[in-house]
Amino acid sequence: MENRFFNSIARLDFAGNLQLTIGKNEDNGLVVSILLRNEACGDSAKDLIPPLTLIGTAEELDEGFFAQIAKPVEQVSGLMVDMESFLAQMEIAKKNSAMEKQQEEMKRKGREAKDKKYKEEMGKVDALEKEGKFRDAWKKLPDPEGFPERAEHIRKRKADLSARFAPDLFGASASQVESVSAQVEESSDLQDDADVLADDGFSDEEE
């Protein structure tokens, strides 16, 4: 009878190396051990998979050997492939997690730096207000657009400070106070320019 052993092996669906160990038992029967090794699988749990062992006479094994091993070999092979795929996906997830943590850390540091800057600027405002320098404190207030989450607080503080040095507005609204404050700021800037020219020591007579 034609031997088709290796053709039958080739038809098995597996990845890796199929190791067969054949021995004889006390009854002069055969003991066949089949172990699938897949070095591409990096999961050490693969070493816990036991070999498949078949015991029978030569005739019995000739008759049913491949029918008995085909499904188990396919299952073990699929398991190892899945294990390696799982490890690969875990590695990708780990890298993505590290990137996400890094991005979160950068965002956290950015928020902390922004909070620190805000506190420093508001600290200067508080110090000037305590000294009674309301106009200077008003000028030192940060731009609301630079701190959108605190914009409302900054505008309120601006209105409160401007009310301390601006003309009496007889209960004017906050928007009116801000309008007057802007005019006062413009007037203050013009006055500052005039003071600079005066400090240069020029006069109409000298010209």
pLDDT in tens, 40-61: 888 887 788 888 888 998 888 8
Q: Which residues of 15-36 are buried (b: 16+ CB within 10 A; e: fewer)?
A: ebeeeeeeeeeeeeebebebbb
- Sorting pLDDT into bands at 50, 70 and 90, what band is 76? confident
pLDDT at 168 over 60: no
Average pLDDT, the chain: 78
**SS3 of residue 91 by DSSP:** helix
CB 77 within 8 A of CB 16: yes
Domain ranges of the chain: 5-82, 132-199
For residue 200, the model assigns a pLDDT of 53
- Sorting pLDDT into bands at 50, 70 and 90, what band is 207? very low
* CA distances, 80 to each of 41, 43, 44, 110, 162 (Å): 6, 8, 10, 45, 74
| Cα maximum dimension of the chain | 133
Residue 124 to residue 100: CA distance in whole angstroms: 36
pLDDT at 116 over 60: yes
CB 19 within 8 A of CB 38: no
For residue 188, the model assigns a pLDDT of 52
Residue 14 to residue 36: CA distance in whole angstroms: 8
What pTM did the predictor assign? 0.40
- Sorting pLDDT into bands at 50, 70 and 90, what band is 202? very low
- Sorting pLDDT into bands at 50, 70 and 90, what band is 80? confident
